[in-house]
Amino acid sequence: MSEPLEAGACHHVDTAGGYRVPVTWYAGAPDTPTVVLLPALGVAARFYDKLAATLAGSGLNVAVMEQRGQGDSALRPGRRHNWGFAEVLDNDLPALLDWAEARRPGAPLYLMGHSLGGHFAAITAGRFAGRIDGVILVATGSPWWQAFVGAAGPLNDKSVRRLIRLIPPANLVFGYFPGERIGFGGNEARGIMSDWRALAKHNRYQARGLAEALDAAVAGYTGPVLAVRLADDALAPQASVKAVTDKFRQATLTQRVITADQLGDRADHFRWARQARVVADLVTPFVAGPR
C-alpha cells in the first residue's frame, strides 16, 4: 500500500486589486527551484495535488494557484462578477510571483501550466522574462479552429467554430459562460471566454484591457521551454500544440510526448494527472538542468 501524499499548506495572496488569490504551497528544499503551477480552464487546484506532492517529494517547491471562479476562490462568475485574461495576468499572477519569490528568495522560478494555465504561463514569461527561469506546458494547445481541421475527436474545426458562435449569446443570456451545462470547461466569466474566443478565432493572445502585444512578448522570451503533449489528447492534438509552441521564436524548446503505454492509461487531456510521476519525471530534470 502506498504512503499517503503530504497535503500542501493553504494560503491567500493579497493583490493590488483587492482580490485574494488562494494558493497551495508544497515546501521543498530551501535552495531548490520553485514551480508555480497554473490550472486548466474550469479545473480546481486540488486536481493537481498528486503532481504537486510528487514534485515536492523530489525536493522542488511548488505553489499551485487557484483560478478565479474555481475551487476555493471566493469569486463565482455572474452578471455582477466578471473578469478576463487581464485580471489574471495583470493582478493575480504578479502578486503570486512576488509571494513565491519571497518564500524562496533567490531560487530559480519556473512557470508550469496545464491547458489554459499554459497560455497564462507563456504570456507571463514573455511579460516578465527577467523573473522567469523556464516554462513548462502540459497539454497546452491553442483552441484555434484551423488547428482542428481534420481532427477525429470530439473537437474538430466545425465544433470549435460552433463554440465560437455560441459564446456571445451564452454570455448574454446567463451573464456568464455555462460550461457545466454545455459540457466544455466549467462555469466561466464572460471576459475569460471572450478572450479565449479571440484565441480560437485567430490564434492571437488577447487580454481586453491590456494594450500590450502579448504574442510579441512571448516571441521575445529566450529561456527554456518544455512542452509536454499527451498522445491521445483530443483537446490539444499535435497541430494545436504546435500553434502554441510556434509562438516561442527565441526560446530553447524541448518537446516530449507521453503515450498510453507510459501512463498505463489513456494519454488524454486529464488522465495524465492520475499518474503524476510520469510528468514529474520530465519536469524534475528540466528544472534541475543547466541555467
pLDDT digits (tens, 9 = 90+) for 252-285: 999 999 999 999 999 999 999 999 999 999 999 9
- The C-alpha atoms of residue 279 and residue 257 are separated, in whole angstroms, by 10
Give the mean model confidence (pLDDT) for residues 152-169: 94
Q: Is the pLDDT of residue 291 over 60?
A: no
Q: Which residue has the higher pLDDT, 193 or 3?
A: 193
Under a CB-based contact definition with an 8 Å cutoff, are residues 221 and 250 in contact?
yes
> Mean pLDDT over residues 155-171, rounded?
97
CATH class of 9-288: alpha beta
Residues comprising the chain, all counted: 291
| Other C-beta atoms lying within 10 Å of the C-beta of residue 158 | 12
DSSP-derived secondary structure for 60-123: -EEEEEPPTTSTT-S---SSS----HHHIIIIIHHHHHHHHHHHSTT--EEEEEETHHHHHHHH
Quote the CA–CA distance of 136 and 227 in Å, as a whole number.
Answer: 6
Query: Which 3 state secondary structure label does DSSP give 14?
Result: strand
Give per-residue pLDDT as tens, 208-255.
999 999 999 999 999 999 999 999 999 999 999 999 999 999 999 999
Q: Are 141 and 235 in contact (CB under 8 A)?
A: yes
Q: How far apart are CA 128 and CA 37, in angstroms?
A: 16
Residue 3: the pLDDT is: 39
pLDDT at 2: 40
- Sorted by sequence, the CB contacts under 8 Å of residue 144 that are 6+ apart come out as 160, 199, 200, 201, 202, 203, 240, 243
Cell of 124: 507571463
- Name 62's bridge partners: 26, 35
Instruction: Note the pLDDT of residue 290.
Output: 59
Residue 252: in which H helix or E strand, if any?
strand 252-258
Closest CA to 123 of 48, 60, 63, 210: 210
Burial, 211: exposed, middle or buried (Cβ in 10 Å; 0-12, 13-18, 19+)? exposed
What would the pLDDT profile of 117-143 be if each residue is shown by its tens digit? Answer: 999 999 999 999 999 999 999 999 999
Q: Where are the domains of the chain?
A: 9-288
Beta bridge partners of 254: 226
Confidence of residue 6 (pLDDT cuts 50, 70, 90): low
Residues 62-77: tens digit of each pLDDT: 999 999 999 999 999 9
